[in-house]
Amino acid sequence: MRPTKILAALALASAMLLSGCGGSSNDPQPSNNDPKPNVETAAAPPPTQPSTPVKGDLTIKMLNVGQGDAILIQTKKQNILIDTSDIDERDKLVAELDKTRIKKLDRVILTHPHADHIGGLERLIKDGKLNIKEIDDNGMTSGSKIYTNYMKAAKAAGISIGHLKDGDELDFGGGVKFKVYYPTAELINEGSQKGYKHDPNNESIVGRLTYKNFSMLFTGDAEKKVENELLNSVHKSELKSTIFKASHHGSKTSAGVDFMKMVAPEYVVISAGEPDIDGGNTYGHPHKAALNNYLKAGVAKSKIYWTYKNGTITITTDGKAWSVTPEVENNWLDAWLDK
Ligand SMILES: [Zn+2]
């Protein structure tokens, strides 16, 4: 077959695959009556992504919860939620979790006690729709009302609260593991001293999920300070990951080029809300400097997704192959870089 014919055949095959594309059989198909996802839509150029989601026993959803983080991990055995959106976005969190039809959360991991990470938890506990078995935080306390309220609710509901630190390894079931790289025991110890001045972003839980050949690095809001510590730690050689959860919502405070080159992900997924909204994403996330560093690390433009533009981002894998499927196809990156 001549190259042009091969290309034509590939295009045809990809068009056929695309027509059969659309979530897992558990997801209700959208009807015309469903509300539009809270994302900008644009005339979608031909997608360059694999158009049929890989059938896998591990699903990771970066939920479209506006400005904040909430990532649902579903293995064969367990459901794990990493962060719980912003307090102002908790209705979105509840709606997104309702869509998944899960009934239990085996573990909720709170990367750090900022409002845009722990904000939805009190509501989830008090709603009582989900059986929450355990909460794991980064071992740092906070005086904020959002923090004390969720702690009170968790205690009243009898949910056990644990702390994660460098060296911990969690079993998510079904062969999926999560190894914690940060914070260190020393930092947690310092943080427990009276008068310690906390730097919550740089106390975030950083951990790497692995499943056979697939891996994903979770970074909370860790900034370059933590990235540099990791580059000088025993974990340096373990940073390389299939998917990178953009640290700090794609802020320029994070994603230093040396760190990104070490992670060298195939995909980057960013959780950040509508730009320039008071009380929301006034930070200009994701920042051009961070985006450019993803590109410098070799990430293809078509493999960077942002919840505000792409809606909920669904990753499925059987550990050998993987697919990343946005709710909305939207190649926003070039226009965003040109702004
Ligand atoms: Zn944050």
Please check whether residue 115 is in contact with residue 86, taking contact to mean a CB–CB distance below 8 angstroms: yes
Q: What spacing in Å lies between the alpha carbon of 210 and ligand 1's midpoint?
A: 23
In which band, very low, low, confident or very high, does the pLDDT at 227 lie, cut at 50, 70 and 90?
very high
> Per-residue pLDDT for 48 more than 60?
no
Give residue 165's pLDDT.
98
Distances, alpha carbon 125 to alpha carbons 92, 103, 164, in Å: 16, 13, 21
Q: What spacing in Å lies between the alpha carbon of 315 and ligand 1's midpoint?
A: 21
Domain 52-338 has CATH 3.40.640.10: no
In this predicted model, what pLDDT tens digit does every residue of 175-212 receive, in sequence order? 999 999 999 999 999 999 999 999 999 999 999 999 99
Give residue 31's pLDDT.
40
Q: What spacing in Å lies between the alpha carbon of 205 and ligand 1's midpoint?
A: 12
More confident residue, 265 or 38: 265
Q: What spacing in Å lies between the alpha carbon of 31 and ligand 1's midpoint?
A: 33
| 0.75 surpassed by pTM | yes
Q: What spacing in Å lies between the alpha carbon of 68 and ligand 1's midpoint?
A: 5
Q: What spacing in Å lies between the alpha carbon of 190 and ligand 1's midpoint?
A: 22
> Per-residue pLDDT for 151 more than 60?
yes
Q: What spacing in Å lies between the alpha carbon of 271 and ligand 1's midpoint?
A: 9
> Per-residue pLDDT for 291 more than 70?
yes
Please check whether residue 290 is in contact with residue 246, taking contact to mean a CB–CB distance below 8 angstroms: yes
Tokens coding 175 = 């062969």
3-state secondary structure 57-80: CEEEEECCCCCCCCEEEECCCCEE
In this predicted model, what pLDDT tens digit does every residue of 99-140 receive, in sequence order? 999 999 999 999 999 999 999 999 999 999 999 999 999 999
Give the length of the chain: 339
Q: What spacing in Å lies between the alpha carbon of 52 and ligand 1's midpoint?
A: 31
**CB within 5 A of ion ligand 1: which residues?**
116, 221
Antiparallel, parallel or unpaired: β 313-317 and 160-163: unpaired
- DSSP letters of 209-266? EEETTEEEEE-TT--HHHHHHHHTSTTGGG---SEEE-GGGG-TTS--HHHHHHH--S
Q: What spacing in Å lies between the alpha carbon of 135 and ligand 1's midpoint?
A: 18
Radius of gyration of the chain (CA): 20
Domain positions in the chain are 52-338
Give residue 282's pLDDT.
79
Q: Give the separation between CA 86 and CA 119, rounded to whole angstroms.
A: 4
Q: What spacing in Å lies between the alpha carbon of 16 and ligand 1's midpoint?
A: 39
> Per-residue pLDDT for 25 more than 90?
no
> Per-residue pLDDT for 29 more than 60?
no
Q: What spacing in Å lies between the alpha carbon of 32 and ligand 1's midpoint?
A: 33
> Per-residue pLDDT for 39 more than 70?
no
Q: Is the peptide bond before 275 cis (omega within 30 degrees of 0)?
A: no
Q: What spacing in Å lies between the alpha carbon of 336 and ligand 1's midpoint?
A: 21
Q: What spacing in Å lies between the alpha carbon of 209 and ligand 1's midpoint?
A: 20
> Per-residue pLDDT for 269 more than 90?
yes
Q: What spacing in Å lies between the alpha carbon of 246 and ligand 1's midpoint?
A: 11
Highest average pLDDT, of 49-53, 149-153, 279-283, comes from: 149-153
Q: What spacing in Å lies between the alpha carbon of 63 and ligand 1's midpoint?
A: 14
Q: What spacing in Å lies between the alpha carbon of 202 and ligand 1's midpoint?
A: 11
* Residue at 238: amino acid letter: E
Give residue 51's pLDDT.
62
Q: What spacing in Å lies between the alpha carbon of 201 and ligand 1's midpoint?
A: 8
- For range 157-170, the mean pLDDT: 98
Q: What spacing in Å lies between the alpha carbon of 116 and ligand 1's midpoint?
A: 5
Q: What spacing in Å lies between the alpha carbon of 290 and ligand 1's midpoint?
A: 15
Q: What spacing in Å lies between the alpha carbon of 55 and ligand 1's midpoint?
A: 31
Average pLDDT, the chain: 88
